[in-house]
Structure 1
């Protein structure tokens, strides 16, 4: 009988350890920001977009309207139990270029420097209905009469 109680106690201990380990935070890293050592190789006023990409790699994104900047972004996200994921660290490296593509400025920003910017999608609306193109095509089947073809 004591052997069974020992196994039962051991099973409960293992289950408790598994339950507690499930509550440990998990971290995910996204993106890439060059190190200070790598950035020291970039010279403002001398290097071009091509030489910067060759030295430190391709950026995550470039300027939206023009090619006046390149952005390297790195984030660290914490997942904890049932809570929503939380960004706990973010670095943004912005490299600005002039019209000839030569580096004019290098700036580094952290999560504490910025604000959360909501991203919205702008979609061109249809002509007032929410019907999809497939629904319109299927809806037009059988909508013909013989007089449409005869004349």
Structure 2
């Protein structure tokens, strides 16, 4: 019986400690430095880059200037909001003839995190109590509207 209790306590301890372990999720794809070394600036074209490295996450929207490979690693821990711990952005730029002109890699440490915000209209009632809102409408009251009449005479 004593061995059963020790086994139960040990299993409960392992289960509780494993619940506190962070999990990581990977999203997207960014080529490694070895794969990028195969790209020759001034010689490779858009098609040869896609063939050797893979399909990009996105392409240049405004002027087809390049292809973008984006990879993110997120840390999920208990009740906390997920947090980006690593982000790789690989940009392969092309000239007018679709020949590679530059290859760049950006990481999370290279820039600032841009928070996305929702567009919400402000209510303009911050700091105004319910009673003040209720009493503030008395100045906008027209008795003629209440009794079915109007301010303008009918023709």
After TM superposition, the score normalised by the length of structure 1 is 0.71
Q: Secondary structure at the match of 2:93?
A: strand
Q: Secondary structure at the match of 2:74?
A: strand
Matches within 5 A, 1:1-150: 3=1, 5-119=2-116
Q: Which has the larger radius of gyration?
A: 2
What is the rounded CA distance, in whole Å, between the counterparts of 1:121 and 1:67 in structure 2? 29
What is the rounded CA distance, in whole Å, between the counterparts of 2:17 and 2:89 in structure 1? 35
Query: How far off its partner does 1:84 sit?
Result: 0.9
Query: How far off its partner does 1:97 sit?
Result: 1.0
Which residue is equivalent to 1:135?
none
Q: CA RMSD in A?
A: 1.8
Query: How far off its partner does 1:52 sit?
Result: 0.5
Q: Secondary structure at the match of 2:87?
A: strand
Unaligned segments of structure 1, at least 5 residues? 123-151
What is the rounded CA distance, in whole Å, between the counterparts of 1:99 and 1:63 in structure 2? 13
Query: How far off its partner does 1:13 sit?
Result: 2.3
Once the two structures are superposed, what CA deviation does each residue of 1:28-68 show, in whole Å capped at 9, x if it has no partner?
11111112221111111111110100111111111122211
How many residues are matched? 119
Unaligned segments of structure 2, at least 5 residues? 120-155
Q: Secondary structure at the match of 1:99?
A: coil
What is the rounded CA distance, in whole Å, between the counterparts of 1:78 and 1:28 in structure 2? 7
Which residue is equivalent to 1:148?
none
After TM superposition, the score normalised by the length of structure 2 is 0.70
Alpha-carbon spacing, 1:65–1:119, altered in 2? closer, same or farther (3 Å): farther
Query: How far off its partner does 1:119 sit?
Result: 4.2
Once the two structures are superposed, what CA deviation does each residue of 1:96-150 show, in whole Å capped at 9, x if it has no partner?
111221111111111000111234689xxxxxxxxxxxxxxxxxxxxxxxxxxxx
